[in-house]
Amino acid sequence: MAAERENDCVMGENTDVLMEERPKWDNKFQYVLSCVGFAVGLGNIWRFPYLCQTYGGGAFLIPYLIALIFEGIPLLHLELAIGQRIRKGSIGVWNSISPYLGGVGIASMLVSFLLGLYYNTILAWVLWYFFHSFEEPLPWKNCPLNNNKTGFIKECEQATPVDYFWYRKTLNISPDITVNGDGQQWWLIICLVVAWLIVYSCVLKGIESLGKAVYFTVTFPYLVLLILLVQGLTLPGALHGLVYLITPDLTVLSQPRVWLDAATQIFFSMSLGFGGLIAFSSYNPPKNDCEVDAVTVAIINSITSIFASIPIFSILGFKATAAYWECLDKNILLISNEFEIQDGNVTRENYFRWVDDLNATHQDRISVLTLKNCVLKDFLDQSTSGTGLAFISFTEAIVRMPVSQVWSILFFIMLFNLGLSSMFGNIEGILTPLLDLKVFPKCVPKEIITAIICLVSFLIALIFTTASGNYWLTIFDNYGTALPLLIIAFFELIGVIYVYGINKFCDDLEFMTGRRPNLYWHVTWRFISPLLLFSVFVAYVAIEVQHRLSYEAWNPNYVEFPKKEEKDYTSWVVFICVFLVTLPSMFIPLTALYHLIRSKFRRHRKRAENPCDNIAFQL
């Protein structure tokens, strides 16, 4: 047996004797938690609320729910079902259905790999802010003094302390994507090392270790969200943020972009097409109600997005109200000094009446005061998505809150756990296919394979720790996942329903769940979901090709600074953008072409080796 194992290590082949039993989840709750943790991520916190605000508040729920019902839930059910039935990772599943579809699994694995590169970099940024959250005062509350100690640093004064801490102290960002500035930022490299070590320690043994970790990483963010909800609703101005969030504007539904963003949000929100959900479900027992699992995970994910919007916008409403009051107070001070008005006569409540009266009687004097235009809605409109929400808008709101260190610590712990549980699925979307394909020799432990994946990912992700790293991260985010996921999901449906066969798939579902799928599943899988995906793909490409590829650069020498300078990508950066878009997807046709050529070559060789068969066939 030892000789066989040694030979197996050299040849990279497994024998039936040495085949190990596939790992299993400890219990159903652990599996559902892992799926929820993978699906619920940073996008639920910082992209869904932003889309609601951008597209008419509550009106955005209409296209979102339509996309959820006719795109998200059917695809989620399909991925969980095929993973559970075939009991392999993404590549193994699609190779089992048809070798011509093996490229779909490769594409899923590559998308998971690309996402993990920059996703864990974001967790490194979160760790950096978490470490600084213990300082008193928070380092993004005030501008630092200049070298001469005679005033504040000019860049910080021109912008804001939170902007300065993010762009200069954290990223040390360069003014151009082609300029590397001071090279790697050592503090980000340290945080990146810590982030990857934490991920590795949780997934080093696959589901045996991450299954234990999800009990904390998935549940703790909900506790923090509940605490933030209670605190947020007690803050002055919270109601303004909530009203602004939910007030529906149905006119935006006529814009094609709102439907496109709702459809693509489903993919990121539910982690469809990455292969992680297929990997998770492959560790289920053969007979498990995957239909109930899919609906449960989808509902929890969507409710989380809506629930997270409440504390987020109650706190942002507080921030906007505080900024609005500061604007009024500065104007009141100018008016009081100019007209020698006794303190307390001009207040926030009667400010606009005073301004109207002075405009009517002393227009020449009040016009030279350069009063700011204080409108609450303008401050509420200043919302951002993604890193801008987490590291700028929300941090600015936190410094205004009492006991700001506590809220900062809780907020960044929550973000880290949300991202960490999503990283578990990304790693499984890479690890499980590699194990199923026997890429590594049998004698190589799973811990070593996981370590190799994490190490390679860390080394490539070092590009995000450079002075231009934030620009590259944005490129990976914009071009490395969105379009490939649409293509992957489309071929997943085509592969299962029209290649594997809807009747055979329904037989499998009956075997696993004890019942055949109803009319809703048939209609969505056969017609609605493929048509919707194809329409979204065409619309996405049509909209993107109309815009030039550009980015917003943080440049202190820009004449309109602190406004960001819009720059076009250079030709070689455009090439990289196109490469990232096409890299995962190209394996779908290339793999099919490879098997087609291989099949023709085999038939040709067989006929050459058996000429008598050819003569008999002709006769």
Q: How far is 55 from 67, CA to CA, in rounded Å?
A: 15
Residues 62/252, Cβ–Cβ less than 8 Å: no
Q: Which long-range contacts (CB under 8 A, 24 or more apart) does 154-162 make?
A: 154/556, 155/556, 158/556, 158/561, 158/562, 159/561, 159/562, 160/396, 160/562, 161/399, 162/391, 162/392, 162/395, 162/396, 162/399
Phi, psi of 564 (to 5 degrees): -75, 150
Q: How far is 63 from 75, CA to CA, in rounded Å?
A: 17
Q: How many other β-carbons are positioned within 10 Å of the β-carbon of residue 478?
A: 16
Lowest mean pLDDT of 5-19, 351-365, 403-417, name the range: 5-19
Report pLDDT for 249: 81
Is it the case that residue 616 has pLDDT exceeding 50?
Answer: no
Burial class (CB in 10 A: 0-12, 13-18, 19+), 176: middle
Least Cα distance to 85 among 523, 430, 496 occurs for: 496
Residue 47 banded pLDDT, cuts 50, 70, 90: confident
Is it the case that residue 549 has pLDDT exceeding 60?
Answer: yes
Least Cα distance to 166 among 463, 383, 394 occurs for: 394
Residue 15 banded pLDDT, cuts 50, 70, 90: very low
Q: How far is 323 from 319, CA to CA, in rounded Å?
A: 6
Is it the case that residue 19 has pLDDT exceeding 60?
Answer: no
From residue 169, alpha-carbon distances to 118, 143, 387 in Å are 19, 11, 15
Lowest mean pLDDT of 70-84, 368-382, 583-597, name the range: 368-382
Residue 180 banded pLDDT, cuts 50, 70, 90: confident
Q: How far is 453 from 463, CA to CA, in rounded Å?
A: 17
**What letter does residue 186 receive in the DSSP assignment?**
H
Query: Residue 370: CB partners within 8 Å, gap ≥ 6?
Result: none
For the stretch 318-349, pLDDT in tens is 989 999 999 999 888 888 888 888 777 888 88
From residue 73, alpha-carbon distances to 28, 94, 175, 302 in Å are 20, 20, 43, 11
**What letter does residue 566 receive in the DSSP assignment?**
E
Residues 242/52, Cβ–Cβ less than 8 Å: no
Task: Tell me if the bond preceding 611 is cis, omega within 30° of 0.
Answer: no
Residue 613 banded pLDDT, cuts 50, 70, 90: low
Which whole number is the average pLDDT over 458-463?
96
The two tokens of residue 347 are: 């207040």
Q: Which long-range contacts (CB under 8 A, 24 or more apart) does 345-348 make?
A: none
Which whole number is the average pLDDT over 220-225?
93
The two tokens of residue 268 are: 């990121």
Least Cα distance to 409 among 160, 195, 138 occurs for: 138
Report pLDDT for 579: 94
The two tokens of residue 396 are: 């600015």
Residue 176 banded pLDDT, cuts 50, 70, 90: very high
Q: How many Å is the Cα radius of gyration of the chain? A: 28
Report pLDDT for 611: 62
Residues in the chain: 619
Give 416-442 as a 3 state SS string.
Answer: HHHHHHHHHHHHHHHHHHHHHCCCCCC
E-strand spans in 164-253? none
For the stretch 100-142, pLDDT in tens is 999 999 999 999 999 999 999 999 999 999 999 999 999 999 9
Is it the case that residue 619 has pLDDT exceeding 50?
Answer: no
For the stretch 147-174, pLDDT in tens is 887 789 999 999 999 999 999 999 999 9
Which whole number is the average pLDDT over 510-523?
95
Residue 225 banded pLDDT, cuts 50, 70, 90: very high
Which whole number is the average pLDDT over 587-597?
94
Instruction: Name the amino acid, one letter, at 510.
Output: E
Residues 490/537, Cβ–Cβ less than 8 Å: yes
Give 4-60 as a 3 state SS string.
Answer: HHHHHHHHCCCCCCCCCCCCCCCCHHHHHHHHHHHHCCHHHHHCHHHHHHHCCHHHH
The H or E element that residue 131 is part of is helix 102-132
**Angle 129-134-138 from CA coordinates, rounded to 5°:** 70
Q: How far is 54 from 67, CA to CA, in rounded Å?
A: 18
Query: Residue 394: CB partners within 8 Å, gap ≥ 6?
Result: 312, 315, 316, 411
The two tokens of residue 384 are: 């951002």
Residue 614 banded pLDDT, cuts 50, 70, 90: low
The two tokens of residue 250 are: 């149905």
For the stretch 384-424, pLDDT in tens is 666 787 898 889 889 988 899 999 999 999 999 999 999 99
The two tokens of residue 400 are: 């205004």
Q: Which residues of 32-70 are buried (b: 16+ CB within 10 A; e: fewer)?
A: bbbbbbbbbbbbbbbbbbbbbbbbbbebbbbbbebbbeb
Q: How many other β-carbons are positioned within 10 Å of the β-carbon of residue 272?
A: 24
Residues 398/408, Cβ–Cβ less than 8 Å: yes
Q: How far is 111 from 586, CA to CA, in rounded Å?
A: 12
The two tokens of residue 560 are: 């309109």
For the stretch 283-308, pLDDT in tens is 999 999 999 999 999 999 999 998 99
**What letter does residue 168 receive in the DSSP assignment?**
I
Report pLDDT for 384: 66
Which whole number is the average pLDDT over 483-488?
92
Residues pairing with 566 in the sheet? 552
Q: How far apart are the first and last CA of the chain?
A: 52
The phi-psi region of residue 206 (left if phi > 0; otherwise alpha if psi is between -120 and 50; otherwise beta) is left
Report pLDDT for 111: 95
Report pLDDT for 612: 57
Helix, strand, coil fractions of the chain, as percent rounded to 5: 75, 0, 25
Residues 405/136, Cβ–Cβ less than 8 Å: yes
Report pLDDT for 134: 96
Q: Is 331 helix (H, G, I), strand (E, B) or coil?
A: helix
Q: How far is 55 from 77, CA to CA, in rounded Å?
A: 28
Is it the case that residue 441 has pLDDT exceeding 60?
Answer: yes
